[in-house]
Amino acid sequence: MGRSYKTEFLRWKAELEKKHGQMIYDRLSEVIDTNNDLSVGDMVMFTNDYGVKFGPNEVLGFCKPDSFLCPHRYPKDEDCGIVFLDSDGYWFPDRLDQLTPVSKGGQQ
């Protein structure tokens, strides 16, 4: 794994939530109805729309699908990113279908 952007993410999260209240959550089950126990600290692989894999990356947080943080993909608004990863695009959440869990809480 390369450079960590966790410090920048936490600073950005604090500034965002100071202005808007809680916007980023620690567990996937806090933002959508799911049995998936994905949470902050878990490690995932990211696969882009062309099949290229990146990672592993640490999960840093989750946003609700109806949040202004969720980048909607047209024409299907429900297909949006809700998972923040420790990457150079830490402020842009990724879609669940792009992620493959590797380990819980950073443990192999």
Q: How many CB atoms lie within 10 A of CB 28?
A: 20
pLDDT tens digit sequence for 37-80? 999 999 999 999 999 999 999 999 999 888 888 766 544 555 67
Whether 34 and 83 have beta carbons less than 8 Å apart is answered as no
Question: pTM above the 0.85 mark?
Answer: yes
10 Å CB burial of residue 64 (0-12, 13-18, 19+) is: middle
Tell me how far CA of residue 93 lies from CA of 6, 107, 108, in angstroms: 14, 23, 24
What pLDDT is recorded for position 76? 55
What average pLDDT score do residues 3-16 get?
A: 96
